[in-house]
Amino acid sequence: AQKVTQAQTEISVVEKEDVTLDCVYETRDTTYYLFWYKQPPSGELVFLIRRNSFDEQNEISGRYSWNFQKSTSSFNFTITASQVVDSAVYFCALRGYGSSNTGKLIFGQGTTLQVKP
Amino acid sequence: DAGITQSPRHKVTETGTPVTLRCHQTENHRYMYWYRQDPGHGLRLIHYSYGVKDTDKGEVSDGYSVSRSKTEDFLLTLESATSSQTSVYFCAISEGGSGTDTQYFGPGTRLTVL
pLDDT in tens, A24-53: 999 988 888 999 999 999 999 999 999 989
B76 backbone dihedrals φ, ψ, rounded to 5°: -115, 125
Q: Is B62 on the interface with A (CB under 8 A)?
A: no
Cα-Cα end-to-end distance for chain B: 34
With CB atoms and an 8 Å threshold, state whether B99 touches A108: no
Considering only CB atoms, which chain A residues are within 8 Å of B41?
109
What pLDDT is recorded for position B16? 97
The percent of residues in chain A predicted with pLDDT above 90, rounded, is: 76
Considering only CB atoms, which chain A residues are within 8 Å of B97?
none
Pairing status of strand A111-116 against strand A10-14: parallel
Mean pLDDT of all residues belonging to chain A = 92
**Is A19:A114 a contact under the CB 8 Å cutoff?**
no
What pLDDT is recorded for position B40? 83
What pLDDT is recorded for position B97? 57
pLDDT tens digits for range B44-94: 999 999 889 999 999 899 999 999 999 999 999 999 999 999 999 999 998
Q: Is B30 on the interface with A (CB under 8 A)?
A: no
- Would the CA dihedral through A112, A115, B2, B5 be positive or negative? positive
Q: Is a pLDDT exceeding 60 seen at residue A100?
A: no
Closest CA to A109 of B36, B42, B87, B39: B42
With CB atoms and an 8 Å threshold, state whether B42 touches A97: no
User: Mutate which of A2, A33, A46, A102 to test chain B, going by most B C-beta atoms within 10 A?
Assistant: A102
Reduce the DSSP state of residue A114 to 3 states and report it. Answer: strand
- Spatial separation of the C-alpha atoms in residues B26 and A88, rounded to whole Å: 28
Q: Is a pLDDT exceeding 70 seen at residue B2?
A: no
CB proximity list for B25: less than 8 A, separation 6 or greater: B2, B3, B4, B5, B32, B71, B72, B74, B93
More confident of the two residues B98 and A68: A68
A112 C-beta neighbours (distance < 10 Å), count: 14
What pLDDT is recorded for position B41? 86
What pLDDT is recorded for position B99? 57
Categorize the per-residue pLDDT at A98 as very low, low, confident or very high, splitting at 50, 70 and 90: low
Q: What is the mean pLDDT of residues B18-36?
A: 94
CB proximity list for B37: less than 8 A, separation 6 or greater: B43, B44, B87, B88, B89, B90, B108
**Exposure of B39 by Cβ count < 10 A (0-12 exposed, 13-18 middle, 19+ buried)?**
exposed
Q: Min CA distance, B108 vs chain A (Å)?
A: 7
Q: Is a pLDDT exceeding 70 seen at residue B4?
A: yes
Neighbouring-strand partners of residue A107: A93
Q: What is the mean pLDDT of residues A99-112?
A: 81
Categorize the per-residue pLDDT at A101 as very low, low, confident or very high, splitting at 50, 70 and 90: low
Extended beta strands in chain B, E state: 4-7, 10-13, 19-25, 31-38, 42-51, 54-57, 64-70, 73-78, 87-94, 103-105, 109-113
